Amino acid sequence: MNYIYPIVNPIFTIKMYKLDLPIDKKEFEAIEARRQRELQRQSRIFNAKVRTIGIDLQAVQEQERDRRMREEMERRRHEAFASDMVRNDKISQLLQKRQEADIRRLNKALNEFRKMHQQPNTRREFDLYDPDSLKKDKPARVSDDDPRCTLASLQKFEGEDLNNPARKKLQQEQMREWTKQQHEERLKAEEKKRMADRLYDMKQIELDQRAVELQKAETECRRAITTAQANYNKALSDEVTNQRELDKRRETDDKLTEIANHVHGDFLTENPHISTSAFGPHRVIPDRWKGMLPDQLAEIRKNQKIQEEERREREEAERKENEEWEKQALNNARAGMVLEREQGRQIRNKNKNVAQENLKLAMEQKAHKEFLDSQVYVNPPTAAYFQQFNTITR
């Protein structure tokens, strides 16, 4: 089975390894020759007149040779890199061992120098960390009046004198006396507090009894006030009832008097003379004027009859005008129907002519297609013919 391998771009191969290697002129010329052969082969394959269906065996064999050469170069390159890596690892191991030996030798020489020439007792500040410094040193002070205990010596503080035990014992005795005195004072304070609480409780009982007595007296007083207020409210209610009946009786008399005055007065009798205003005979008093005179009423009825005749004449004119408009609209509708029928007849004739023209064109197209199928297109292409286009060269 033959495999087809694409041509490898040499520029991509050089960039893949990221090596700053010079480009071989012969190799570049060989690659350029292969590229030209590939372009020529594409021109042959994609030319429908000279192309043949099959495999370019010579090109496949050339690709196979190129692939083997490239694999051999890759193998040699990898072997060279591997041998360089092994050699570099051995060199690094030797250098590391030499460096470790040098470090050990330098550390040994340094320790010997320190042991011989840098003893602790030869140092200037050895007295600061001498392990026998406490054995060699003198005590801080011999007595409280030691002349070495100056102000800046920081060797004697308040409470650090030599008679400290006796002073502490005296302080303990004094503290015991103070504690006993505080205990007695606390007992006295508690006794006073108990006496004050007892007096407070007795005072509270006395106040509670007095509050009960005051509440009882207040209840009796309120009961007496309630009884007196009830009697007063009853007397006041009776007085209000009597006053209300008296007012009702007086109001009834006033209403009857007012009715009689209205019945016999000028308001209901409709006296027209009392409505005349003092500003002129043509003006009236609105609250006294209750109607018109017979002459005025007759004049108003006459005007109303004239207005009624005018309204009837106007309605008759509007009716006649509406009838004219209806006749005109009916005539317009009839003319529109006639025009619409004429347009429909014209459209049908036009559609008929278009259908005949389309039928004629269809027959002509059918005859032309039959001529092409029988005379021109005698060798139709198959699916295999179209599958050979738009494919790669390899």
When pLDDT is cut at 50, 70 and 90, the band that residue 67 belongs to is: very high
When pLDDT is cut at 50, 70 and 90, the band that residue 1 belongs to is: very low
Instruction: Give the closest residue to 272 by CA, choosing from 254, 260, 286, 290.
Output: 290
Residue 51 pLDDT:
57
By mean pLDDT, which of 4-18, 81-95, 361-375 is the weakest? 4-18
- Cα 293 to Cα 101, 217, 268, distances in angstroms: 153, 85, 16
Query: Which pTM was predicted?
Result: 0.23
Tokens of 385: 């013919």
Tokens of 137: 């040193």
For residues 359 and 139, give the distance between their C-alpha atoms in angstroms, rounded to a whole number: 142
Tokens of 169: 């014992």
Residue 305 pLDDT:
92
| Contact of 55 with 2, CB cutoff 8 Å | yes
Tokens of 205: 């009982």
Instruction: Give the closest residue to 60 by CA, choosing from 7, 116, 125.
Output: 7
Give mean pLDDT, residues 76-81: 93
Burial 331-342 (b: 16+ CB within 10 A, else e): eeeeeeeeeeee
- Average pLDDT taken over every residue of the chain: 81
For the chain, the domains span 10-117, 292-377
